[in-house]
Structure 1
Amino acid sequence: MDMNQYLEVFIEESKEHLQSCNEQLLELEKNPEDITIVNEIFRSAHTLKGMSATMGYEDLANLTHKMENVLDAIRNHKIKVNPEILDVVFLAVDDLEAMVQSIADGGDGKRDVSAVVEKLLLIEKGESPIQASAKSEVAAAVEVQTTATKSKYDEFEFTVLQQSKEQGFEAYEVSVSLREDCLLKAARVFMVFEILEKIGEVIKANPPVEQLEEEQFDQEFTVTIVSKESREDIQKKVMKVSEVDRVDVTNLSLEDLRHSENEDVEKMVSNDHVVTETIEIDKDKDNEQGEKKSATSTKHSSSKTIRVNIERLDILMNLFEELVIDRGRLEQISRDLNNQELHETVERMSRVTGDLQNIILNMRMVPIETVFNRFPRMVRQLARDLNKKINLEIVGAETELDRTVIDEIGDPLVHLIRNALDHGVETPEIRKANGKNEEGTVILTAYHSGNHVFIEIEDDGAGINREKVLAKALSKGIVTEQAAATMTDKQVYELILASGFSTADKISDVSGRGVGLDVVKSTIESLGGSISIDSKLGHGSIFSIQLPLTLSIISVMLTEIHQEKFAIPLSSIIETAIVKRQDILNAHNQRVIDFRGKVVPLLFLNEIFEVPGIVEEDEFYSVVIVRKGDKMAGLVVDSFIGQQEVVLKSLGNYLTNVFAISGATILGDGQVALIVDCNALIN
C-alpha cells in the first residue's frame, strides 16, 4: 500500500497533536492534580503513536510509546507530577517535533533519542530522571567509539564505497564535534567539508548537508569519505579548524557496510517526498459577516472542512489580481463610451468581483494563534533560564490575518517577548522589594480595528527609564541635545528601536547586544505596519503593532504630478486639503503649514521623486495629510484623481532600493502608477 498519498495529512495532523501536547503540558504544570489534562495529552500521544506506526515511522512510534507509558502511570496515580518529570516529557515532545519536521523536509524521521528514552524509563520505574544524566556521561565514551556504526548507506552509496575499496582507497567515517560556544556552526561545517574534499571524496553526511547548512543539528555531525590518506593525517587536518572540539576518524570495513546496507537500503526513497504547506478552509465561512471560528471548532467539524494546498490559493489570488486590473480597465472604457448597458454590466461585474474578493481574502485568513501557540512554551523556558516567575496571558488568538502577514510576523514577536522577559519583568526579589507580586505578567493581545490588526505586548515590569534612554542615545549620537530637550516621552521610548541601541548593563544570551528591536521595526514597516511604545516607570510597558489585514489588494488615493500618477495608501491618509500659498511658512529650512493647531511639514513629491515637468507657482496647493504614529506630513501633489482599489505589485529585483516607493500598480487605462511609502517619507 502506497503511503505517500497520506504523507501530507500525517505531517499536518502530527503537528496539531504535538501542539496540543505542548499546550496541555503547560496547563498540567499549573494544575498538577488535574487528571483530565493528563488524559488529553495521553489521547494525543496515543493517536500520534498509531499514525506513526501505520506510516512506518517506527522511531517516532517507539518514542511516543515510551512517553505514553509515563502518562499512563501518572493518570493511574502511580507517579506524581513534578517539574523534573515535566521537563523530560517536554524534551520528548521536542524530539518528536524534530522527527516530524525531518519527515516534512523529506527525511526519514530518525533521531538519536536514547538519552530522553533512558529518562522516561527511569520515571516509569518511579526513579528520578536526574539519575539518567550520570549514566549518560558514563556511556559517552562508548558513544564516541560507536558513532561510526550509526550512519546507514543506501545501495548506491554502498556500491561507491565498495568500488573505492577495490581501487585501493580507504573508507572513513569522520565524526566532528564543535565547541558548545560555537557561534557560526554552518561556517565551521563548510571549512571541514573544504578540507575533506581536498584529501578525498565525500560520500555522505549525517545529518544531511541541507540540515548542516541551516544549522539544524546540535554540536556533532559525521562525514563519510574515501581517501588514500591515513586516519591520523585526516584527524590533524580537521582539528586545525577553529572551534572544533573533537575529531574521531573510524575505518569502515566491507562487513560494516554490508550490515548497514542490509539494514536500510531504502533510506533515500523518503527524500523524494515533496511536502507542501496546507491550510484548512471552512466551507461555512460567511464572507459578508466575516464570522470567525475558533481553531477547535474547525478541527472537530472535519466533515465541513477540507485541506487545500496553499500554492493553489496563491495561484487563485494571482488570477484574481489580474481580474481586478481588467475590471479597472472595463470601468475606464465604460466611462469613455458612456453606454448605459455597458455601465450596468460593468457595475454588476464590480459587485460580483467585490464578493469574490471577500471570499478569496477570507480563505487566505489564518488565526493568529498559529503564531501565538509557540510562545507559552518559549516563555516557560526563558523564565526558568532568567530565574524569573512569569505568567503569559494570550487574548484574541482567534483574530485572523492574511497568511503572507502571518509568515512574517513571528520573528518580530519573538524579539519583543524576549525583550519583555529580559528587560521588562524584574526578578522575584526586586518585585517583592517594590511591593509587587513575585510573578510578573506578560499579556499578548490581538484584535481587529477597521482594515487593520493590532497586536500588543504588555508587561507589568520596571518600565522604560526616560533619562537612561536619553543618556544612551546622546552618547551614541542618535539624537542631539537640542532635539532631546523637546522630545515627548513616546518619542524617547521609540529611540530603543534604533539600530545598535541597548540599555542593558550586561549582555545575556537573551538580549542586550543592541540587535533585534531595529529588525522588529524594519520588518513591521516593510509589511506596511507601524510600532509604537508606551511606558510608565515602575509599572510596565506596552508595545503596540499595527498591521494591514492583507498586503496584495489595497485601497489608495490616486494623485497626479506632472502627468505622472502616484497612489497613496488610504491607511496612511488622515484627510486631503487645499492650502493657500500664503499659508505656507518656513521653519528650520523646512516648509510647513499650521494644520488644526499642529505644525506639519510639507513634502513636495515632484521634488522628492524628481518628476520631469515645468514647476508653476500656484495660488492653491493640493495636499494629502498622512500620519505614521504621532508624526504627520503633508504631501503636495498637482491634483486628486480619486479613491480606487489596486493590486500591489513588486518592482522586481532590479529596483529593490527605490526611496519611498513600495510597489506599483496597473490602472484601468493601462498606465502604471507608483505606490508611495508614507512611512519612509515621514522618517
Structure 2
Amino acid sequence: MDMNAYLSMFIDESNDHLQALNENLLRLESDPEDVSIVQIIFRSAHTLKGMSATMGFEDLAALTHEMENVLDLVRNNKLKMDSFIFDTLFKSLDALENMVQDVIAGGSGKADVTHIVTALKSIVSGDYKNQASAPVAAAAAVEVSGETPQVSDAASEAASLLDEFQTSVLMQSMDSGLSVYHVVVHVSEGCILKAARAYMVFDFLERTGEIVKSHPSVQDIEQEKFDRSFTVFMISSASAEDIHKGIVSVSEIESADVTQMDRETLAQLGRRAEQAAEQPAAPPAAAAVVNAAPVAAVPAKQEPAKEEKARPASNGPVARTIRVDIERLDALMNLFSELLIDRVRLEQLATEIRRSDLTETVEHMARVSGDLQNIVLKLRMVPVESVFNRFPRMVRDIAKSLDKKIDLVITGAETELDRTVIDEIGDPLVHLLRNSCDHGIESIAARVAAGKPEQGTVHLRAFHSGNNVFIEIEDDGNGINREKVKQIAIKNGVVTPEEAKRLTDNEINMLIFAPGFSTADKISDLSGRGVGLDVVKSKIASLGGHVSVTSQEGKGSIFSIQLPLTLSIISAMLIKLGTEKYAIPLSSIVETGIIRKEQIRSVHKSFMMEFRGSVIPVLSLSKVLDCPSFSEAGEAETEIVVIRKGEKLGAILVDEFIGQSDIVLKSLGNYLTNIDAISGATILGDGQVALIIDPNALIK
C-alpha cells in the first residue's frame, strides 16, 4: 500500500493530537489529581502511536509507547505526577513535534531520543527517585516483556514468562491482600473470530482486576496469531469461581483453567527468574525478540480494549469532515464575488423594469445566493483558537526558564479569521508574548518589592471590529522605560538627539519596533539579539494590518494588532457625499440617524455630541476625505452614522443614505497602499466604483 497517499492526513492529525496532548498536559499540571484528564491524554498518545506505527515511523511510535507506559501507571493510580514527570513528558512532546516537523520536511521522522526514553523508563521503574514501588513496576514489566515459547505446566510456564520484577510485583500484591491467578483460556475449535472472543475475555478480566502478563503477546492475539488458547497472569480481589464463570460466559469459549497461585510457588518462580537473569546471553533469536519488544510490544492491560473497540466503529457513521485545498476555496470565493456583482445588477434592473415574474425570480435568486454567501464565507474562516492554543505551553516553559510566575489569560479565542491570516499570525504573536514574559513581567522579587502579586498576568485577547480583527497582548509588568528606549535609540543611530527631544510618548514606544533594537542587558535564549519586534511589524504589515503599543511605566503594556478579515464579501451601508458614493462596513455601525446642527458642540477645538447618555466625538467625512462636490454649509440638519471600535464610539457626518448592500471587497493594489481611512473598494451593480471606509482609522 502506498503510504504517501495518507501522509498529509497523518501530518494533520498528528499535529492535532500533539496540540491536544500539550493542552491537556497543561490542564493536568494545574490539577494533578484529575484522572479523567490522564485518560484523555492516554487516548491521544495511543492514537498517535498507532498512526505512527501504521505509517512506518518507528521512532515516533516507540517514544509514544514509552509515554503510554508512564501514563498508564498514572491513570491506574499507581504513580503520582510530580515536576520531573511533567518536565519529561513535555520534553517527549517536543521531541515528537520535532519528528513530525522532520516528516513534513520530507525526512524519515527519526531522532535520537535515548535520553528521553531512559528518563521515561526510570519513571516507570521508580529509579528516578530511588524508591521503586511494586505497583509502578507492574506495568513496566508488562510493557517491555518479550515473547517466549508456550508450555503446558502452569508453574514452569510462569517461570519462563515472568521475570524477577514481575514476580516481585505479584508477591507484593499478594501481601496487600489481593489474589494472583494464572488463567489459561481455550477457544472453541470452530470459532471464526478468535480475536473478537479474546477481546471479550480481556474486557471482562480488565473489569475484574489487572492483567500483568499475557502470552502470546496482545499484538499476536489481536492478529489471531495463536492456536486455540492463550495465557494470562492477573491480580484481582475476585474469587477464582467468579473469574471462571465470567470467562466461560463468553460465547465460543470452550473452557478456562483458573489457578490461584500461593506464596511458595511465587517464591520458587522468583528464584528461577533470578537464575535465568544471571545466565549468559540468550540465543540470538530470543535476544532479537526481546530487543524489539519496546517498539513492537503492545501494553497487555489496555490494548485489547482500545484496539478491538475501535473496529466496530468502522461500521458507524463516516467522518463528517474533509480537507480542501485553500486554492479551491480562493477560486470559489472569486467566482461567487462575480456572481454577487451580477445579482446586485439584476436587482436594479428588476426594479426599473417592474415585471412581477422577473422580480419574483430575482428575489428567489437573492435568497438562495444569500444562503450560499454565508456558507462560502464560513468555509475560509477559522477560529484564532487554533493559534492561541499553543501559547499556554510556551508561556509555561518561558516562566519556568526565567523563574517567574506568569498566568496567561485567553479571551475571544472563538473569534474567526481568514485561514491565510491564521497561517501567518503565529510567529508575530510568539515574539510579542515572549517580549511580554521576558521584558514586561518582572521577577518575583521585583514584583513583591513593587507591591504587586508574585504571579504576573498576560492577557491574550481577540475581538472583531468592522471588517478587522484586533488581537491584544496586555501584561501587568513594568511597562516601557521610555528614557532608556530613547538612549538606546540614539546610541544605535535610530534617531538623533534632536529628533528624540521632539518625540511623543507613542512615537517613543514605537521605537522598540526598529530593526536590531533591544533593551535587554544581556543576550539570552529569549532576547538580546535585536531580532523580534521588527519582524512582528513587517509581518503584520505584509498581512495588510498594523501594530501599535501603549504603555504606562510600572503598570504594564498593551500591544495591539489590527488585521483585516480579508473577506471578499461584506455587508455595508452605502452613503453619498455629493456625487461620490462610499461604503461603511455594517459590522462597525451602531446606529444611523439625523441630528440638528446645534446639537454638535465644540469642546477644546473638537466637535462632540450627546449620544444615549454619553458624549462622543463627531467627524465630518467630507473633510476627512476632502470631498469637493459636497459642502455642509447652510444645512440645518445632517445625517450621522455612529460607529464603534471595541468600546469606543464616534459619529461621522454624511450627505445621504443609499441603503444596505452586500459588497465585494477589492484591494486597491500595490500602488495605493496605506491610504488613511480607506480599506478598499467595491464595484456596485451599476458598474460604479465605491471606496470602502475604514471606521477603525477614524476612531483613535
Bin of the TM-score, shorter chain as denominator length: 0.5 to 0.7
- 1:354 equivalent to 2:344? Answer no
User: Which residue of structure 2 aligns with residue 83 of structure 1?
Assistant: 83
Q: CA deviation at 1:123?
A: 4.6
Query: For residues 440 and 473 of structure 1, what CA distance do their matches in structure 2 show?
Result: 28
Aligned with 1:305: secondary structure? Answer: coil
Aligned with 1:309: secondary structure? Answer: coil
User: Which residue of structure 2 aligns with residue 264 of structure 1?
Assistant: none
Match of 1:644 among 657, 661, 667: 661
Query: For residues 474 and 674 of structure 2, what CA distance do their matches in structure 1 show?
Result: 34
Match of 2:460 among 438, 444, 452: 444
Deviation track 1:586-610 (CA, whole Å, cap 9, x = no partner) reads 999xxx75555777565657976xx
User: Which residue of structure 1 aligns with residue 65 of structure 2?
Assistant: 65
Match of 1:308 among 316, 319, 323: 323
In the alignment, is the contact (CA less than 8 A) between 2:676 and 2:697 conserved in 1?
A: yes
User: Which residue of structure 2 aligns with residue 662 of structure 1?
Assistant: 679
Deviation track 1:413-436 (CA, whole Å, cap 9, x = no partner) reads 334422332233221112333444
User: Which residue of structure 1 aligns with residue 400 of structure 2?
Assistant: 384
Q: CA deviation at 1:319?
A: 2.7
Percent identity (aligned): 57
Alignment of 1:37-52 (within 5 A): 37-52=37-52
Which moves more between the two structures, 44-53 or 311-320?
Answer: 311-320
In the alignment, is the contact (CA less than 8 A) between 1:496 and 1:517 conserved in 2?
A: no
Distance of aligned partners of 1:573 and 1:477 in 2 relative to their CA distance in 1, 3 Å threshold: farther
Distance of aligned partners of 1:124 and 1:338 in 2 relative to their CA distance in 1, 3 Å threshold: same
Aligned with 1:664: secondary structure? Answer: strand
In the alignment, is the contact (CA less than 8 A) between 2:18 and 2:97 conserved in 1?
A: yes
Query: For residues 653 and 461 of structure 2, what CA distance do their matches in structure 1 show?
Result: 37
In the alignment, is the contact (CA less than 8 A) between 1:561 and 1:606 conserved in 2?
A: no
- 1:506 equivalent to 2:506? Answer no
Uncovered stretches (5+) of structure 2, i.e. residues with no partner = 130-315
Q: CA deviation at 1:333?
A: 1.5
Match of 2:435 among 419, 426, 443: 419
Q: CA deviation at 1:515?
A: 7.1
User: Which residue of structure 1 aligns with residue 387 of structure 2?
Assistant: 371
Which moves more between the two structures, 663-672 or 436-445?
Answer: 436-445
Deviation track 1:92-137 (CA, whole Å, cap 9, x = no partner) reads 21221122233334443233434434544555554559xxxxxxxx
Aligned with 2:571: secondary structure? Answer: strand
Q: Which amino acid aligns with 2:344?
A: G
Q: CA deviation at 1:25?
A: 2.3
- 1:323 equivalent to 2:330? Answer no
User: Which residue of structure 2 aligns with residue 337 of structure 1?
Assistant: 353
Q: CA deviation at 1:325?
A: 1.4
Deviation track 1:30-49 (CA, whole Å, cap 9, x = no partner) reads 34455544443333222211
Aligned with 2:321: secondary structure? Answer: strand
Query: For residues 453 and 31 of structure 1, what CA distance do their matches in structure 2 show?
Result: 33
Deviation track 1:285-333 (CA, whole Å, cap 9, x = no partner) reads xxxxxxxxxxxxxxxx975621231434333333322221111111121
Q: CA deviation at 1:378?
A: 0.5
Aligned with 2:93: secondary structure? Answer: helix
Q: CA deviation at 1:379?
A: 0.3
Alignment of 1:18-167 (within 5 A): 18-72=18-72, 81-124=81-124, 126-128=126-128
User: Which residue of structure 2 aligns with residue 260 of structure 1?
Assistant: none
Query: For residues 598 and 77 of structure 1, what CA distance do their matches in structure 2 show?
Result: 61
Query: For residues 69 and 33 of structure 2, what CA distance do their matches in structure 1 show?
Result: 18
Query: For residues 398 and 615 of structure 1, what CA distance do their matches in structure 2 show?
Result: 42
Deviation track 1:561-606 (CA, whole Å, cap 9, x = no partner) reads 675544343455675778979x999999xxx755557775656579
User: Which residue of structure 1 aligns with residue 4 of structure 2?
Assistant: 4
Alignment of 1:265-284 (within 5 A): none
Distance of aligned partners of 1:392 and 1:476 in 2 relative to their CA distance in 1, 3 Å threshold: farther
Scaled by the length of structure 1, the TM-score of the pair is 0.59
In the alignment, is the contact (CA less than 8 A) between 2:384 and 2:422 conserved in 1?
A: yes
Q: Which amino acid aligns with 2:454?
A: E
Distance of aligned partners of 1:598 and 1:604 in 2 relative to their CA distance in 1, 3 Å threshold: same
Q: Which amino acid aligns with 1:558?
A: L
Query: For residues 331 and 478 of structure 1, what CA distance do their matches in structure 2 show?
Result: 61
Alignment of 1:253-652 (within 5 A): 303=318, 305-311=320-326, 312-446=328-462, 455=471, 457-462=473-478, 504=519, 506=521, 509=524, 510=526, 551-559=567-575, 563=579, 565-571=581-587, 593=607, 602=620, 604=622, 619-620=634-635, 640-652=657-669
Aligned with 1:670: secondary structure? Answer: coil
Q: Which amino acid aligns with 1:44?
A: S
Distance of aligned partners of 1:327 and 1:107 in 2 relative to their CA distance in 1, 3 Å threshold: farther
In the alignment, is the contact (CA less than 8 A) between 1:649 and 1:664 conserved in 2?
A: yes
In the alignment, is the contact (CA less than 8 A) between 2:572 and 2:586 conserved in 1?
A: yes
Q: Which amino acid aligns with 2:396?
A: R
Q: CA deviation at 1:341?
A: 2.9
Query: For residues 478 and 628 of structure 1, what CA distance do their matches in structure 2 show?
Result: 36
Distance of aligned partners of 1:636 and 1:599 in 2 relative to their CA distance in 1, 3 Å threshold: closer
Distance of aligned partners of 1:600 and 1:320 in 2 relative to their CA distance in 1, 3 Å threshold: same
Query: For residues 526 and 631 of structure 1, what CA distance do their matches in structure 2 show?
Result: 27
In the alignment, is the contact (CA less than 8 A) between 1:532 and 1:629 conserved in 2?
A: no
Q: CA deviation at 1:382?
A: 1.0
Q: Which amino acid aligns with 1:645?
A: D
Aligned with 1:392: secondary structure? Answer: strand
Query: For residues 393 and 16 of structure 2, what CA distance do their matches in structure 1 show?
Result: 15
Distance of aligned partners of 1:453 and 1:338 in 2 relative to their CA distance in 1, 3 Å threshold: same
User: Which residue of structure 1 aligns with residue 296 of structure 2?
Assistant: none
Query: For residues 530 and 42 of structure 2, what CA distance do their matches in structure 1 show?
Result: 43
In the alignment, is the contact (CA less than 8 A) between 2:465 and 2:587 conserved in 1?
A: no
In the alignment, is the contact (CA less than 8 A) between 2:617 and 2:650 conserved in 1?
A: no
Query: For residues 617 and 17 of structure 2, what CA distance do their matches in structure 1 show?
Result: 56
User: Which residue of structure 2 aligns with residue 674 of structure 1?
Assistant: 691
Q: CA deviation at 1:386?
A: 1.8
Q: CA deviation at 1:22?
A: 1.2
Which moves more between the two structures, 95-104 or 547-556?
Answer: 547-556
Query: For residues 601 and 500 of structure 2, what CA distance do their matches in structure 1 show?
Result: 27
Query: For residues 595 and 470 of structure 1, what CA distance do their matches in structure 2 show?
Result: 39
In the alignment, is the contact (CA less than 8 A) between 1:504 and 1:512 conserved in 2?
A: yes
Q: CA deviation at 1:375?
A: 0.5
Deviation track 1:384-437 (CA, whole Å, cap 9, x = no partner) reads 222201222334544544434433443443344223322332211123334444
After superposition, the CA RMSD in angstroms is 5.0
Q: Which amino acid aligns with 1:567?
A: A
Query: For residues 477 and 559 of structure 1, what CA distance do their matches in structure 2 show?
Result: 47
Distance of aligned partners of 1:389 and 1:584 in 2 relative to their CA distance in 1, 3 Å threshold: closer
- Give the number of equivalent residue pairs: 501
In the alignment, is the contact (CA less than 8 A) between 2:572 and 2:585 conserved in 1?
A: yes
Greater Cα radius of gyration, structure 1 or 2: 2
Distance of aligned partners of 1:563 and 1:102 in 2 relative to their CA distance in 1, 3 Å threshold: farther
